[in-house]
Amino acid sequence: MNPNIPAGDEPPRILPAEVRVAIQSMKPSTAPGPDRISADLLRAGGHHLHVILAEHMSSYLRKERIPNQWRISRTVLIHKKGDREDLWNYRPICLLSVLYKLFTKTILTRISRTLDEAQPQEQAGFRQRFSGMDNIQTVSRVIETNAILSALVDEEVDVTYLRTLADCYRECSTTVQLFQRPVTIPIAKGVRQGDTISPKMFSAALQWAMKSLIWDERGIRVDGRFLPNLRFADDIVLFSRSTDEAQAMLNELNEVGKKIGLRMNRTKTKFMKNAFCDGERIELEGTQIAETMSYVYFGRSLNMESDLKEELGRRRRAAWAVFGLLREATDQLTDHELRVHPFFRFETNIPPYRSGGIRTES
């Protein structure tokens, strides 16, 4: 399963202070994994617990092997909307051991800078000081584990962390409760859902695959250089000067993606073009890609005319929809000013909605 990982020196021991910082950064009131240990329980442990956990985690890092209990996760089905009898209306959520997530969070803190420095400017996903708006203004993924580890080797991540992370993906399984009967499912590929280090590992593997694309003179010129794409994790926008170039770039991206186990979402793959663009058809493996006049990208509706009318209307509707959830409370207010003004302040803080998929623009 593992690529050729060279030998390396033993990393420094994990300190109680590192454990404390990692615990403090964990979200409160999150569901525990199979071991029933919650983040709130660790947060209440204090310095003595930090020392004990640091000693154990240093031992796991030195041996480059994690406890077998950490390989097991629990998957629960969360109803999204629609018919509760339809399985497609449920989202699977994987609950990992909180102690395991604490361990990988500590490793992530140590190697995060190495992973970020290997990412191009086009990638804004899961990076400090980057956001989806950076892309507008300028994660469980079924990805091969071997591709992830090869990417980490290529980015020269410390060998001990590499071997330890490789062990984290060995002989993993998840348990699903169906009709009062637990079913154990082995996990053969993909990053572990809910693991804090998974998004960074996915981005590293994607960059490792896309490095082979020769797009130095493709895309559109921005600040004196060609910009072929923008990325937020697996959400990719392609830029081109013609439909022929867009077709070639889409085909090449599809091929490198398949090599690491990724498949494009055809229902969300669309293209937009301006009035000066030639050609009217773009295909993905023989299937015509739908053309669209606008697309919601990380919470903002984009179009070729830069018309904000649709975006303003969409945000206003979203604000009213959320405000409607508070109607029971606001209807009890007798002061008209209090009933009106909080809404407009609230409207300006509607969080953007993230939509997935791979899109092309020309």
Residue where one domain finishes, among candidates 194, 217, 243: 194
Vertex 265 angle, CA 305 and 203, to 5°: 90
Domain boundary among 178, 194, 210: 194
pTM across the whole model = 0.72
* Number of compact structural domains in the chain: 2
Query: Does one domain contain both 175 and 316?
Result: no
Do both 16 and 141 map to the same domain? yes
Residue 285 lies in a domain: no
pLDDT for 253? 93
Answer whether residue 254 is part of any domain.
Answer: no
Query: What is residue 352's predicted lDDT score, i.e. its pLDDT?
Result: 45
Q: Are residues 19 and 167 in the same domain?
A: yes
Q: Answer whether residue 50 is part of any domain.
A: yes
Same domain, 164 and 32: yes
Query: Of 253, 256, 298, nearest to 124 (Cα)?
Result: 298
Q: Are residues 151 and 10 in the same domain?
A: yes
The number of residues in the chain equals 362
Domain end call among 125, 160, 194: 194
Same domain, 190 and 316: no
How far apart (Å, rounded) are the C-alpha atoms in residues 237 and 312? 23
Residue 357 domain flag: no
The Cα–Cα gap between 255 and 115 comes to 24
> In this structure, is residue 13 part of a structural domain?
yes
In a domain, 296, yes or no: no
Do 12 and 138 lie in a common domain? yes
Q: Which helix (H) or strand (E) holds 55?
A: helix 47-63
CB atoms near residue 335 (< 10 Å): 8
Residue 116 located in a structural domain = yes
User: What is the extent of the structural domain holding 74?
Assistant: 1-194
Q: What's the rounded Cα separation, in Å, for the pair 205 and 212?
A: 12
Domain-located, residue 277: no
3-state secondary structure of 217: coil
6 with 151, same domain: the answer is yes
User: Minimal CA–CA distance to 352: which of 274, 297, 270?
Assistant: 297
pLDDT of 348 = 46
Q: Along the 362 residues of the chain, how does pLDDT read in single tens digits?
A: 456 666 667 789 999 999 999 999 998 888 899 999 999 999 999 999 999 999 999 999 999 999 999 999 999 988 888 898 888 888 888 999 999 999 999 999 999 988 888 777 665 444 454 444 333 333 344 577 888 888 888 888 999 999 999 999 899 999 998 778 889 999 877 788 888 888 888 888 888 989 899 998 999 888 888 889 888 777 888 989 888 999 999 999 999 998 888 888 888 888 888 878 877 789 988 889 888 888 777 777 787 777 788 878 888 888 888 777 777 766 776 666 655 555 444 444 444 443 333 443 43
- Say if residue 182 is in the same domain as residue 316: no
Biggest alpha carbon distance in the chain? 72
Question: Does residue 182 sit in the same domain as residue 310?
Answer: no
Would you state the structure tokens that stand for residue 339, as one six-digit string? 């009933």
**C-alpha angle with apex 279: 278 to 282, nearest 5 degrees?**
135
